[in-house]
Structure 1
């Protein structure tokens, strides 16, 4: 829902839809909040609810079918497998919220990682400088797409598809057909192959809960100061409680020894706090900055946002840059996991990234969705891949199931928008 003020331009209320929960200036209770939520669901605004339900069903099915699915080793492996897809899904949210798309995000990180790995071969430059150059490639590609989309008016599908094809040629020039570079700097390899000490996992959980609690309190104080109604404090504590319980379960589980008799292996993978940091910073940007509010406003109604004084060109341009840079970060996680870069890197994952966002509840039509929805959707896809792999299904069957889930999610999104328009929610 977007609003408009005289000095700041359009805004998007992203704080749990408090006015609809409590009524104007009210102090409703938990019952009012639950009834309001159910009303939104009946009106078509289901958010990530279908993805969460599907995730629970998938976990139950795979756990029943194969006892190895819920072992400490496989859960840790699931987190590291999902990290690149989760990050790429979050990257694509920034452009999907605008009603745009970036089909080149995967090959963008492929080119960036090809340059990075080639430059860090023995006798090459230091890995921090090479990493900055790789991130610079993300900035350049995002700026290129943003220029043609925002300034020239070329559809993002066409521009990014052109780059999807063209950057594959660049990869062949950099690495060569069938070529592979393997010597990844040890600090980069550690991201996906090393773990935090057990105590650091608990510290990470405490920091996350502390930050979420502080942000929630500041948000409530801001709303009180502005005279806006607050949702019940019970809802806030319930959400924190659920996060605390789930987080404690994951940390405890990953802190168990999952190694062999010859080598101990325990702790949360290093990539996990890095993904959480991206999620928290990105969520703050989208939910509580003017840039984020403008993205939602443009995705909801571009012309209305322009007439309200939003620099639509700059916002779109910036969103594509953010998307490409985060795509390069997903590439860092990928080369850390596989230990190499080749000419085919990134060709397929971008479609899975779009699928992750859509499955999680981000609308393809723009204006609706959050970063955490992409995380949930990417987890669904990662669970499908992991579980079907344990059950010895073929890659073809895995792709067929993932494609079916994507079509189902897109159908739910379309029906939800139609129902929302019909009910006026």
Structure 2
């Protein structure tokens, strides 16, 4: 991670440079015009894809959504394929498209076909409301997929895809990545190893009308606390039978809250069960607990979320947490186990340089500067699996609101503006 004081200075430097607008070249003007001319078809493509329910566990729906975008990529001259996942993983697989050349940077473009909305989810699939539309996954992230197609189509119509190396991966399980991750993200990692830059089209965030992109995302991880104590009559608590498992759990968690404090670091105990009988169902994240007020609890189970900016922060936090756990109250014992899930997308000079180029493209097109989303303000995303390998930028997708809820909406005008930014960035990176 960049030093805390150096990051604002570096970010200010690169964005100020991007603010110095240039005129678009005649070629770039043709790219922009191509995006604008196709805006009605972009909205129609979004509607077609949105009308297919593609919740992660609706495997047929994910495949059908993939077919919609595969047909568009075939028209653009990409070599397309569907990558199946092992049946036991319960995931539909991924759509991959590639073309190979010798010009400029080798790009990896990321999207996803699945949504959080399974077949029984409330809310419309598609409902047009003037310059916006309401529907399942319209901004997260079928709108982003459409932006990929719109940008590439403008470049193809201008003859600018020839001799470029661009790989596209639309995953089928971004909202609930399949296990083991070494399998479900293997193809993505392999494509990243053959690329120089990754661009992800997750929904764009805005602040006071300013578009914002993502140069960093915190890792998602977790920890398990398993605590034991001496069962006995409550009259002997604090005495011969010690403090019991529940007091030990309270001590540990409050110690984390008071002593493991860093900017960007969070930990959340989402489930806690305590008593003399505890059963936790890992697969369904549910459980039961039983006990009596006159009996000292002998067991506590805690399952928690842990998020960090980079591995150095993770290692510091884990060391301090282990030290707190080991300071047992009399008559108790405790064990902490850490689980990694999504790796961090650290804020790097390379990522910031990408943001500067993206912002410059936006300024040149008359669309204003692009700001930086604080890393702690974004959840997990596919780009985190490739960011440790290559320079990466996320948030190039559609604007909207209410993601993951029955009122999810997309700003249809953002399809055009985001596609213009993306097309110009891709063009400049591949020269």
TM-score bracket, shorter-length normalisation: under 0.3
The structure with the largest strand share of the pair is 2
The structure with the largest helix share of the pair is 1
Which structure exhibits the higher relative contact order, with contacts defined as CA atoms closer than 8 Å and separated by 6 or more residues?
1
